[in-house]
Amino acid sequence: MTILRINDVFLQFAGSNRPALQKINYQIHQGDFVILLGSNGSGKSTLLKLLHRQYQPGQGEIYFHDKPIRQHHYHQFSRQVAVLNQNVADSLFTSLTVYENYLLMNQQHTLRSRHQEGKTFLQNYLQDFNPNLSGKVDLTINQLSGGEKQALALALCLLEPPSLLLLDEHTSALDPKTSEQIMQLTQKMITQHNMTCILTTHDLDIALRYGNRILMLNDGSILNMFDKDEKGRLSKDKLYAAIMHNRPAYHISTLSREPFGRGYLHPACLYLTYLLV
Ligand SMILES: Nc1ncnc2c1ncn2[C@@H]1O[C@H](COP(=O)(O)OP(=O)(O)OP(=O)(O)O)[C@@H](O)[C@H]1O
Ligand SMILES: [Mg+2]
């Protein structure tokens, strides 16, 4: 079942002399976990913001369950589509406590009101995400570590698990161990609640290890799309080369030989292959 259809989307910010996104055509199916790649400024966050209705496309249309997203009732739409922003401070009120953030988030879901307004519920709920957080519900967000903030932002975002989860570099500021913990937690939640997910990252290990599809942007346009089987055949070198040279990876299949050892490709070899294809 197609959950999201992006039809010929174009967006140019006021005052900019070039489009931030153009000719974006893509479909996402129920249960997909799409890894969105691309260099700085390639349009990843802008695309997520369009999908979350923070921006409107200048041209084109985005359909959620076969209906243009702008025609969905906003309140219901925002229950089904959740976003974790690149900057965690955009998702949390940093001068309020963990508990106060929870109360505010909970208030947005009062119509279903499944959650008690008690600290005990919150402490038990957070235990699954990060045991350290359970004892810190009265601390302000500013008093938490980066990893605790990310775990909290994810936990609050999943209080009512959405059907579509948009994650914008939600592990980028974390050390490798904490990043891995948050990624495993993310994967666990996605599987447990059968969510569809789009995740942006610059970490090629994450891109290869997680998700079933890759969408790669360059300068506001789609550079590459890899579905399940193709993604399974990708190496880190191919992905790296595609990003570095802004070229479709199917043009550089010889890079998979990894002549200088696993995970490393000599720049001269990269350049030679680039000239030959
Ligand atoms: N609110 C805005 N107003 C004007 N231009 C913007 C705005 N937001 C983004 N842009 C521009 O749109 C382009 C795409 O930005 P975007 O933030 O989507 O990139 P990104 O792929 O998420 O980059 P990064 O990896 O650095 O997060 C950039 O050229 C950026 O300067
Ligand atoms: Mg971004």
Q: Name, of 5-19, 153-167, 245-259, the range with top average pLDDT.
A: 5-19
Mean pLDDT of 261-266: 39
- How many alpha carbons lie under 13 Å from residue 116 in its C-beta half-sphere? 8
Ligand 1 in reach of 95 Cβ (< 6 A):
no
**Burial profile 6-21: b = 16 or more Cβ within 10 angstroms, e = fewer:** beebebeeeeeeebbb
Chain mean pLDDT for the chain: 86
For residue 146, the model assigns a pLDDT of: 86
- How many alpha carbons lie under 13 Å from residue 32 in its C-beta half-sphere? 23
Closest ligand 1 atom number to CA of residue 14? 4
Tell me if 151 sits within 8 A of 67, measured CB to CB.
no
pLDDT digits (tens, 9 = 90+) for 79-118: 899 999 878 878 899 999 999 999 888 776 654 445 556 8
pLDDT band for position 258 (50/70/90)? very low
Closest ligand 1 atom number to CA of residue 39? 25
pTM across the whole model: 0.86
Ligand 1 in reach of 38 Cβ (< 6 A):
yes
Helices 98-107, 119-129: inter-axial angle, 10-degree rounding: 100
Give the integer Cα–Cα distance in Å for 170 and 90.
Answer: 12
User: In angstroms, how far is CA 90 from the centroid of its own chain?
Assistant: 15
For residue 13, the model assigns a pLDDT of: 97
pLDDT digits (tens, 9 = 90+) for 168-213: 999 887 888 888 988 998 999 999 999 999 999 999 999 999 999 9
For residue 247, the model assigns a pLDDT of: 65
Residues within 5 A (CB) of ion ligand 2:
44-45, 86
The better pLDDT of the pair 273, 76 is held by 76
Tell me if 153 sits within 8 A of 87, measured CB to CB.
no
User: In angstroms, how far is CA 17 from the centroid of its own chain?
Assistant: 27
Give the integer Cα–Cα distance in Å for 179 and 189.
Answer: 15
* Lowest-pLDDT choice from 35-39, 89-93, 122-126: 89-93
Ligand 1 in reach of 43 Cβ (< 6 A):
yes
- Going from the Cα of 43 to the center of ligand 1, the distance in angstroms, rounded, reads 6
Please state the three-class secondary structure of 70-104 as a single string: HHCCHHHHHHHEEEECCCHHHCCCCCCEHHHHHHH
- Going from the Cα of 100 to the center of ligand 1, the distance in angstroms, rounded, reads 31
Residue ranges per domain, the chain?
A: 2-234, 235-277
Query: Domain spanning 2-234 has what CATH number?
Result: 3.40.50.300
